[in-house]
Amino acid sequence: MEVWKSLMVIVIGVVAGVSAHLGYFNTYSAEMRATSGLNEMEWLRSELDLTEEQFARITRLHDDRESEIRTLSRKVRDLELMLAELEAERVTEGYVDYLEIRNYMEAKRKLDEACSKSTNDLIASVGDVMDLEQRRRYLTIVQGSLN
Amino acid sequence: MDKEDKELDEALGLWDEVKVDHSRLSSRVWARVANEEREPTTLPTFFRLVQSLLVRPVYAAVFVVSCVLGGLLLAELRVVKMESDRHEQLAESYKQVIDPLLKNTYLGD
């Protein structure tokens, strides 16, 4: 009889533990799912506690830079394709066009500089809209992109 | 002396005549017998202890409350991990928006 009693206590404990776990986890994961549709800008607003005015100005700054960033990233992709073609040529034909490689290196260097400048300018202008604490948190987020 | 004891004595008598060329056979046999006797009693002792604790209402309540707290702690750890993953994902996504050098920036074309 005592064996059944202790078994019952174990079963009740396990069921209560699992129920508490699932109840808590489902409640919070449902909250997170509700906000999972946020895009990057909305996330940034909530993350940095931006005011409406700050958010509007920062969104405008990003919108203004969008076409430039797209153009630069298209050039990055084109250069990657160019490098892949040069490598394919080297593998299949055993031919290395050093002039093309030099041109690629030069174009890559200039493009990297242009990309870094574009990113740094955007980060600086966005940071100017923020107060000191917001800027500190923002720079922590974008740290890897700063050059 | 009953019939079984008599048969055992006969078997032991026969054993005396068997020559075994192994100096430590006897000690090994007794060690295994002792081990066989010890193992079955170890687990029931543990279970008896658990059983004797869980039948007391105070300990039973402590066990159930511990299970609930353990479940909540694990759930909190999972939620924190999920939040951290989501935060990292959005930060990475934002960096791709502002940095043309990062891959996937052009995928939005």
Question: How distant is the alpha carbon of residue A139 from its chain centre?
Answer: 13
Are A33 and A56 members of one domain? no
Do A146 and A120 meet the contact criterion of CB atoms below 8 Å apart?
Answer: yes
Say yes or no: A88 and A126 in one domain. yes
pLDDT, tens digit (0-9, with 9 covering 90-100), for B41-87: 555 677 788 888 888 889 999 999 999 999 999 999 999 999 888 88
The amino acid present at B71, given as its one-letter code, is G
Contact yes or no for A20 and B95 at CB 8 A: no
- Which portions of chain A are predicted below pLDDT 50? none
Q: What percent of chain B has pLDDT over 90?
A: 22
Written in H, E and C, the secondary structure of A9-31 is HHHHHHHHHHHHHHHHHHHHHHH
- Do A19 and A47 have their domain in common? no
A97 and A130 belong to one structural domain: yes
CA of residue B60 relative to chain centroid, distance = 22
The predicted-structure confidence for A17-27, as pLDDT tens digits, reads as follows 999 999 999 98
Same domain membership, residue A84 and residue A22? no
Q: Which residue has the higher pLDDT, B14 or A143?
A: A143
B16, pLDDT greater than 50: yes
3-state SS, residue A38: coil
Option in A18, A36, A119 nearest B98 (CB): A119
Inspect the interface and report whether the beta carbons of B90 and A43 lie closer than 8 Å.
yes
% of chain B at pLDDT higher than 70: 75
Verify whether the Cβ–Cβ distance A6 to B51 is below 8 Å: yes
Q: How far apart are the first and last CA of chain A?
A: 73
- Decide if B54 and A10 are in contact by the 8 Å CB cutoff: yes
| Model pLDDT, residue B93 | 87
Chain A partners within 8 Å of B89 (Cβ):
none
Q: What is the pLDDT of residue A116?
A: 92
Residues A48 and A103 in one domain: yes
Same domain, A56 and A115: yes
- CB spacing of B106 vs A36 below 8 angstroms: no
Q: Do residue A45 and residue A110 come from a single domain? A: yes
Set of chain B residues whose Cβ sits within 8 Å of the Cβ of A46: none
For residue A22, the chain B residue with the least C-alpha distance is B75
Average pLDDT, chain B: 79
Residues A92 and A47 in one domain: yes
Number of helices (H), then strands (E), belonging to chain B: the values are: 3, 0
Question: A26 and A43 share a domain?
Answer: no
Q: Where are the domains of chain B?
A: 23-55, 57-109
| Domain assignment of residue A77, given as a range | 39-145
Report the number of distinct structural domains present in chain A.
Answer: 2
For A100, phi then psi, to 5°, come to -65, -40
Q: Which helix (H) or strand (E) holds A120?
A: helix A98-129
CA distance A18 to chain B (A): 6
Q: How far apart are CA B11 and CA B13, in angstroms?
A: 5
Per-residue confidence (pLDDT) for residue A1, from 0 to 100:
66
